[in-house]
Amino acid sequence: MNRTTVSKLSLAILAPLFAASVASAAPVIYSETSNGANPPLVGGPNGEFTASQGNTASPSNTVILDNVVVPTYNGGAGGLNITKVTINDRQQVGAPATNVQLYYSTITANRSNVAPPTITAPTAVGGPVGVLANVGATPVNTPVVFGDGTNTLFTLTDSQLNFTDPSVTLGAEFYLGFQFSDTGTTQGLRLAKPDTGYENPVEYFEYNTSTNGQVAFTFFSQVDPNSGAGIWVTVEGTAVPEPATLGLAAIGGLMLLAKRPNRKDTVA
């Protein structure tokens, strides 16, 4: 088989790969992991340090949601591919093993000065992630990771993203939710402040899946130095590639192959 034949076969085989593009780890598009410095986040005046299903009206039916703001995306590319979500489970002493389920959600109506946004029913993403029991003598913070940063967990189109919430001055908005299989109070979602550049209103939402209803909560009062705390979370993802972009990538790869010298194979 000569070099020309091999090149033609290579073009036929590799074209779909170029069209699909090469997968790579996605960047962090949202981050709420800061404890702050004035003062560190160690609990508000009412002891708020975690969001626990055990403290909700219907623990076994509750999904705890918080909004995610992607300041670097303002629409136009087709949406967002979310590839990795990391939260922090705050386990008190004696907390049993549990499973954590990830959800995502969108809104159908913006918040106002007197009313929260209207959140759609949360959608479960993949299978739950297991967390071991805390058998130690002190509370622990356990990272819980969904996804690998490369493969898509879920996709939100521009029509599903919110760009007009008055509490969000720039970027795309959607919601992430979490639910524990253990519904006690020894386990909960650790709280943090948004890192620089990420805006997040001072509240999270309890969504009752049995009644399709929601309740707005404020973690800290506006006069508390810890105002602005929400669920500890980082989100990785990218804008959805446009078909034209993928086509150009494929053409470029094929042109590189076509320019290779056409030398005859020799056998010693």
Q: Per residue in 99-127, pLDDT tens?
A: 999 999 999 999 887 788 899 999 999 88
For residue 262, the model assigns a pLDDT of 53
Q: Which residues contact 6 (CB under 8 A, 6 or more apart)?
A: none
The maximal CA–CA distance of the chain, rounded, in angstroms, is 83
Tell whether the model's pLDDT for residue 207 goes beyond 80: yes
> Average pLDDT for residues 213-219, to the nearest whole number?
80
Q: Determine contact, residues 19/241, Cβ cutoff 8 Å.
A: no
For residue 24, the model assigns a pLDDT of 64
Q: Which residues contact 100 (CB under 8 A, 6 or more apart)?
A: 87, 89, 128, 129, 130, 131, 144, 178, 179, 180, 181
For residue 105, the model assigns a pLDDT of 97
Distance CA 157, CA 30 (A): 17
Distance CA 113, CA 199 (A): 17
Tell whether the model's pLDDT for residue 72 goes beyond 70: yes
Tell whether the model's pLDDT for residue 9 goes beyond 80: no
> Average pLDDT for residues 255-263, to the nearest whole number?
50
For residue 112, the model assigns a pLDDT of 82
Q: Encoding tokens for residue 15?
A: 């074209």
Residue 30: count other Cβ atoms within 10 Å of its Cβ: 27
Using one digit for the tens of pLDDT, what is the confidence trace for 151-205?
A: 999 999 999 999 998 777 778 999 999 999 999 999 999 888 778 778 777 778 9
Q: How confident is the model at residue 49 (pLDDT cuts 50, 70, 90)?
A: confident
Q: Which of these ranges, 21-25, 70-74, 90-94, 158-162, has the smallest mean pLDDT?
A: 21-25
Find the DSSP H helices in 21-144: none
pTM, two decimal places: 0.80
Tell whether the model's pLDDT for residue 268 goes beyond 50: no
Q: Classify residue 259 by its DSSP letter.
A: T
Q: Encoding tokens for residue 28?
A: 């962090």
- Domain boundaries, given as residue ranges, for the chain: 22-240
Identity of the amino acid at 257 = L
For residue 234, the model assigns a pLDDT of 95
Q: Encoding tokens for residue 140?
A: 């622990």
For residue 200, the model assigns a pLDDT of 74
For residue 256, the model assigns a pLDDT of 45
For residue 212, the model assigns a pLDDT of 92
Q: How confident is the model at residue 219 (pLDDT cuts 50, 70, 90)?
A: low
Q: Encoding tokens for residue 205?
A: 């939402």
Closest CA to 192 of 49, 37, 61: 49
Closest CA to 117 of 175, 71, 55: 175
- Percent of residues, the chain, with pLDDT higher than 90: 47
Q: Which residues contact 159 (CB under 8 A, 6 or more apart)?
A: none
Stronger pLDDT, 41 or 215, i.e. the higher one: 215
> Average pLDDT for residues 29-54, to the nearest whole number?
69
Identity of the amino acid at 175 = Y
For residue 64, the model assigns a pLDDT of 94
- How far is CA 209 from each of CA 60, 100, 259, rounded to the nearest angstrom? 9, 16, 58
> Average pLDDT for residues 224-246, to the nearest whole number?
72
